[in-house]
Structure 1
Amino acid sequence: MNLTLAISLFVVLVILFSSFVTVKQGTIAVVTVFGKYRRILQPGLNFKIPLIEQIYSRISIQNRSVELEFQAVTVDQANVYFKAMLLYSVLDDNEQSIKNVAFKFVDERNLMQALIRTVEGSIRAFVATKKQADVLILRRDIVEHVKEQIDQILESWGYHLQDLQLNDITFDDVIMKSMSQVVASNNLKAAAENEGQALLITKTKSAEAEGNAIKIAAEAERQAAQLRGQGIALFREEVAKGMTLAAKEMEQANMDTSVILFTMWTEAIKHFSENSKGNVIFLDGSGDAMQRTMKEMMSLHAMEQLKDK
């Protein structure tokens, strides 16, 4: 009797404890009754009917990642090698999404195989329409194309593509070497163009500076010439005034004005001999020439006086 009671008590305890199920955070439990879907259990402590309800599977709703390595061929028959990282997760904790995850595939291995082949096929189809030279700059376009193509398919499986990272895109060695040569030649061309532009700017600035210097020098020379001309004109005017005044005084004193011219000629000859580098001086020292010069100077002085009036 005591043995029967003990066994009954043990069975009751087992049934009682099996009625409570703990579901970890980030996990959803799928419950079936005699093999048929019944309901889902959220994280925490849950109650199920003992011996009737069974835990069919526990599904993680956390993000999962998988690495991919595959090859594609461009429209110009170049081999492209991809290394990618796929980040995906269960669409949400909605009952229908969890049912799709639990019952669409036989096991996790079949799901991963279908997911990887779907992503690879989408990328291969996109790359097959592009040229080898365009693939590297279309990295973002490839990712957007894949998401657009497989999002609807993954949702029907109960999953969502979080991110696709193309970590490495390479080509055959021959193509990689030719691409390096193209980049190197473009860099040399850009450097030569920059150097040419810098030299052109330097030459232009130098020419502008030289032109400005010439303009300044020409303006200074023009002003100097003008001042020299004004000085010579004033000098001649003062000489004419002095000679005219001296001639008038000599005429009033009944003296010959030729003495003035003679004195000027002698002073000029003295100046020439002291400052010139030549050995011969040709001068017209005749009386007629002196008289003519004297008359011209007096006429010039008379014109200046008329201007002053």
Structure 2
Amino acid sequence: MNAFLIIFGFIAIIILFSSFFTVKQQTAVIIERFGKFLSIRQSGLQLKIPLIDRIAGRVNLKIQQLDVIIETKTKDNVFVKLKVSVQFMVVKETVYDAFYKLEYPHDQITSYVFDVVRAEVPKLKLDDVFERKDDIAIAVKRELNEAMTTYGYTIINTLVTDIDPDIQVKNAMNRINAADREKTVAEFEAEASRIRIVAKAQAEAESKKLQGQGIADQRREIARGLVESVDVLNKVGINSQEASALIVVTQHYDTLQAIGADTNSNLILLPNSPQAGSDMLNNMIASFSASNQVGEVMKSRNKKKKDTPVIQEIISEEETATEDEE
């Protein structure tokens, strides 16, 4: 009898404890009675009738994420793998639909993602897939919301987190990008070279301009010095021709002296004989004399040409007067 009471008491304690159960935060529990839906219990300590009520299942109310990898082909016949991350959840008001209407929600979501992506990506070229990945994600979210709302699921967000083309296509794209960058570098280098050439040309032009101005100023001063030298020589009885010849000979000897002062010079001035100076002076004097003679001859000829019309006018006037007397 005592043993029976002990066993009965033990069973009673077990039944009593099995009447109570706890529900975690962000979780819903489905209670069935004799296999039929009874109620939905939220978080906290809950009570059920032992042996009559049972926990049919638990529904997670947290935001969940499902990553789906799809391989498809683009419009330009490039195979590409896309990774689409779907964030979804079950709200408290739709726990019944989420538990009883859909048995494998992950498989259902995966099927819809495959269907949408394989419908959208073949319309785009590979470059457009990278640029319009947000449009693909929006299309997936729109399709999933329309389909999964019926089953009690809400789609929070969809993201295209990875686009992985075929390895050969990826290598080709890298080569294209490298070539574009090399082209850009070449263009910048060419522009820099052009700028350097233009700057160098402008500097050389400015240098030549300044050099020309310097030479002009130098020659102007030399001419002034020669004029002053000729004036000084004229004052002591030396005419202009002799003064010019003397100045030339003096510059000749100054040049020889300057060349001889430079020990590293390889310049040879021809003619370079001891009589070169006197010969040059004699030649210049002879040239000046010949020039003067030629000038005198030209002046006399020009004078005769001017006098001829005057003589003809006088003769014509005399003939006219004779005719009048007759």
Shift of 1:115: 0.9
Mean Cα deviation higher: 146-155 or 217-226 = 217-226
Could you tell me how far apart the structure 1 residues matched to 2:94 and 2:219 are? Answer: 101
Shift of 1:226: 5.8
Could you tell me how far apart the structure 1 residues matched to 2:188 and 2:67 are? Answer: 44
Letter in 1 for 2:142: E
Q: Cα–Cα, structure 1 residues 268 and 216, in superposed 2: closer, same or farther, change >3 Å? A: closer
5+ residue gaps, structure 1: 247-259, 290-309
Mean Cα deviation higher: 176-185 or 202-211 = 176-185
| Paired residues of 1:91 and 1:155 also in contact (CA < 8 A) | no
Letter in 1 for 2:112: T
| Paired residues of 2:109 and 2:144 also in contact (CA < 8 A) | no
Match of 1:60 in 2: 60
Could you tell me how far apart the structure 2 residues matched to 1:91 and 1:200 are? Answer: 67
Match of 1:169 in 2: 164
Identity of aligned residues (%): 22
Could you tell me how far apart the structure 1 residues matched to 2:37 and 2:105 are? Answer: 20
| Paired residues of 2:23 and 2:44 also in contact (CA < 8 A) | yes
| Paired residues of 1:67 and 1:83 also in contact (CA < 8 A) | no
Task: Please state whether the residue corresponding to 2:123 is helix, strand or coil.
Answer: coil
**Does 1:210 pair with 2:204?**
yes
Shift of 1:82: 1.3
Among 94, 100, 103, which residue is 1:103 paired with?
100
| Paired residues of 1:91 and 1:97 also in contact (CA < 8 A) | yes
| Paired residues of 2:70 and 2:114 also in contact (CA < 8 A) | yes
Task: Please state whether the residue corresponding to 2:9 is helix, strand or coil.
Answer: helix
Q: Cα–Cα, structure 1 residues 202 and 267, in superposed 2: closer, same or farther, change >3 Å? A: closer
TM-score, normalised to structure 1's length? 0.67
Shift of 1:164: 2.9
Q: Cα–Cα, structure 1 residues 200 and 273, in superposed 2: closer, same or farther, change >3 Å? A: closer
Letter in 2 for 1:14: I
Could you tell me how far apart the structure 1 residues matched to 2:37 and 2:219 are? Answer: 114
Match of 2:249 in 1: 273
**Does 1:152 pair with 2:155?**
no
- Larger relative contact order (Cα-Cα within 8 Å, sequence gap ≥ 6): 1
Could you tell me how far apart the structure 1 residues matched to 2:247 and 2:122 are? Answer: 101
Shift of 1:222: 5.1
Q: Cα–Cα, structure 1 residues 131 and 144, in superposed 2: closer, same or farther, change >3 Å? A: same
Could you tell me how far apart the structure 1 residues matched to 2:227 and 2:175 are? Answer: 78
Could you tell me how far apart the structure 2 residues matched to 1:19 and 1:165 are? Answer: 47
Could you tell me how far apart the structure 2 residues matched to 1:40 and 1:213 are? Answer: 97
Report 1:124-143 matches (<5 A).
124-143=118-137
Task: Please state whether the residue corresponding to 2:69 is helix, strand or coil.
Answer: strand
Letter in 2 for 1:73: K
Match of 1:119 in 2: 113
Letter in 1 for 2:96: K
Match of 1:251 in 2: none
Match of 1:9 in 2: 9
Match of 2:88 in 1: 89
Shift of 1:18: 1.8
Shift of 1:105: 1.2
Letter in 2 for 1:235: E
5+ residue gaps, structure 2: 253-276, 294-326
| Paired residues of 2:137 and 2:160 also in contact (CA < 8 A) | yes
Could you tell me how far apart the structure 1 residues matched to 2:209 and 2:248 are? Answer: 36
Shift of 1:267: 6.0
Letter in 2 for 1:149: E
Q: Cα–Cα, structure 1 residues 267 and 80, in superposed 2: closer, same or farther, change >3 Å? A: closer
Task: Please state whether the residue corresponding to 1:62 is helix, strand or coil.
Answer: coil
| Paired residues of 1:82 and 1:166 also in contact (CA < 8 A) | no
TM-score, normalised to structure 2's length? 0.64
Letter in 1 for 2:110: I
Q: Cα–Cα, structure 1 residues 239 and 98, in superposed 2: closer, same or farther, change >3 Å? A: same
Q: C-alpha offsets along residues 78-99 of structure 1, whole Å, 9 cap, x if unaligned?
A: 142314253433143x2x2322
**Does 1:186 pair with 2:180?**
yes
Q: CA RMSD, aligned part only?
A: 3.8
| Paired residues of 2:241 and 2:285 also in contact (CA < 8 A) | no
Could you tell me how far apart the structure 2 residues matched to 1:16 and 1:187 are? Answer: 77
Match of 2:22 in 1: 22
Shift of 1:275: 2.8
Could you tell me how far apart the structure 1 residues matched to 2:177 and 2:246 are? Answer: 83
Q: C-alpha offsets along residues 216-251 of structure 1, whole Å, 9 cap, x if unaligned?
A: 33444455556666x459838x948x97xx7xxxxx
Q: C-alpha offsets along residues 141-170 of structure 1, whole Å, 9 cap, x if unaligned?
A: 322332233233333332424443432421
Q: C-alpha offsets along residues 18-69 of structure 1, whole Å, 9 cap, x if unaligned?
A: 2221223443222233444343333333233444432221122334444433
Mean Cα deviation higher: 64-73 or 122-131 = 64-73
Match of 2:237 in 1: 261
Could you tell me how far apart the structure 1 residues matched to 2:53 and 2:12 are? Answer: 17
